[in-house]
Chains A and B, each alone.
Chain A
């Protein structure tokens, strides 16, 4: 007999068969309870702010929301991967800031070559990610601590190389202009980048053996190791991916603001990405989470932020709202898992 704490774990095999009543039920089951509540919350937000301000639901404003959500959305997508692996990357915001500065400075110093600027930023991102992974794996440092250190250190590096100021000017270059203002098939380039990244990561997680192994590692690392999965390779790769996408976010930041920003615009992105992932259903101990859920949460957070701004609500309140949402998301998750309020959470 088992002695697991979760009450459901020691039930006999009789679980109600899913989708007994055909289509609708099967569809709802496929979307999942977590996503349904997110869709509900999103609908409430849209209806609420839409009725308060008629411009809120205009196509223009929706594009504004999408663009504003792109950068945090990209980070939320990779944060989801890292969290499913059982890790956490708090340094993504600082990495984006450093990448932003590097892209602009390399662009300027190489005689306005956008590809070198972008390439250098991505390379820096990958390098930082590998470094994070190496510290966590080979230094045996808790991921939260390792990337918390990174949060401070990479921000410091960005400030050092930039002297703490915005660097370069990139909006005289067609590539950066295309990134910031271009459109493909009516949608902003930035939004396409988010969509492509999200689709790629979704396919990776859902349909490839790599994705299976990622879920396995986060779900039970000892079992994953005994099943022949090379944990170190996967974990280091996850942080490297996180670094590269953070760099992409930094490049978009440069394109949007026109110059390399060491701190402004990237600060707080780690909180947004973690909030989105948690709200989207990622279990913070790993092994659980979907890109679809995370994107819904990104949309919810983006709409909420935009709505509050449109209503002229103090930006400080938005921080409070975000913090409250993160805690609420995790509390709801723990309740669902049947965690009992005894001692420190695992």
Chain B
């Protein structure tokens, strides 16, 4: 078949850049996109916003050939592109940097970057010299030479470095990129690494590439974007110039609601210490001292890889404690496994909700009741009525949007999935609830609801420990902020003392200090060391 279909109405406006024209996409009975027409002009950053489920990912997948649209077409510089496979998009110069990087663990960075088009010497042998020359040239050209060692194996990379590999993949290749889509690129990066990414995006724009930028983070959007396209329920809710709008206008476009209610929280902390950690040391964290009181919300801040999630897992009984002690409500705990932690009264909503918390093919009811089954059973039989009542109660309280509590969790949007994880722990009523990135990948409406849930929990006397990489969230929620770096705590800030600058200063304390240690982590953008 010829590469392009000749259409009777070829390029009405002949607008340059990448354009979705009248794109609709249906999955079964669900209309994911309806008559979406958006153009992404070259040399501009167009942000794509919308609540989860608004159709952003589906649109990206249509643009990159991963989904075929039910109706409509994709144009590049006014000419329709025939997208049957993702490779077609790649060949046309359309690239995507997915939210979760796909990295081959056992081969080097260089081979990961050029996977599929490795340089060949005679007889299909891998041309290692050429590979090295190419990766070094590309790293140099793109300004990553200092942060990414091309000889590292895929499995040794940090989250930020994995993202870099995806970016390198997008920017290299025989056909130069014409349009690049970033799907929430900063969700696994810390503030510091984000800077490097933004610099790169700025350069891409200046080179005349059409940049599509999907994110929930207002601050980033206003820093980067020239234009902002908002999707709502699969339709275009509006396309605005970034300079001509503000946050609350965007939120209204997205949800028809105001942002001002996002952080409503008065301090309700008591004097009763619930969690008392003394000199806790595991394989990943050292000498952690931390107290959380009843009704108090404590946030753990720090860069990615600072050991916050590892500390949370240790408290949840999923890491080996080398030394130190953990007391809960005055009782010393032996955290030998997650069961012991749960029994003692510790709940953890982990970082990766799909991988670590949810059973996607089970119902909301089943996912909610799982850790409460102990008190929902007679003999070993689950009391169905009580289980239903419990699940319904918390689904209502957290406003989980689903046809019923018998809906499978995989059919829910990210925010509602997160609410199901929260419902599981709220139903169990732990004394200490640890929330690791509770709003990652959650749309703004659900975010506000989750903040409200956290505030309610504190008012009921639960001790809450939050890990978040979003500084506004940390500042808005926490009574007290503990900053970690490299597996240690580097400082503590009260609500009054806290500011983004103060947190960042503590989070990067080691790197800012005079070189008192042999410093192989000088490249703070992405800690290249520590390939455990």
Contact = CB atoms under 8 A, between A and B. Distances in A.
Do these two chains interact? Answer: yes
Given A15-B407, A223-B359, A226-B318, A208 B382 contact: yes
Contact of B404 (A17, A210, A216): A17
B381 A228 contact: no
Interface string B35-69: 00000000000000000111011100000000100
A8 B410 contact: yes
Interface in A1-32: 1-4, 6-18
Contact of B338 (A8, A9, A227): A227
A208 B32 contact: no
B120 interface: no
B81 to A, nearest CB: 21
B410 A6 contact: yes
B411 A11 contact: yes
Interface in A215-238: 215-216, 219-220, 222-230
A179 B95 CA distance: 67
B339 A9 contact: no
B151 interface: no
Contact of B57 (A10, A17, A207, A225): A10
Interface residues of A, number: 40
Contacts of A2: 52, 57, 354, 414, 441
Interface in B15-42: 27-30, 32
A209 B373 contact: yes
Given A8-B410, A13-B53, A220 B355 contact: yes
A1 B350 contact: no
Contacts of A222: 355-356
Contact of B380 (A11, A12, A210, A288): A210
Contacts of A17: 403-404
Interface centre among A7, A10, A17, A225 (most CB of B within 10 A): A10
Nearest to A12: B53
B99 interface: yes
Contacts of A8: 27-28, 410-411
Nearest to B370: A227
A287 interface: yes
Interface in B374-398: 374, 376-377, 379-382, 384
Interface string A197-212: 0000001000111101
A220 B374 CA distance: 20
Contacts of B342: 227-228
B377 A228 contact: no
Contacts of A6: 410
Interface stretch (B204-212, B243-251, B261-269, B360-368): B360-368
A18 B406 contact: yes
A230 B343 CA distance: 13
B57 A216 contact: no
Nearest to B411: A15
B380 A209 contact: yes
B401 interface: yes
A16 B29 contact: yes
A131 B380 CA distance: 26
Interface of B: 27-30, 32, 52-54, 56-58, 67, 98-100, 183-184, 214, 233-234, 316, 318, 337-339, 341-343, 348, 350, 354-362, 366, 369-371, 373-374, 376-377, 379-382, 384, 401-404, 406-407, 410-414, 416, 424, 441
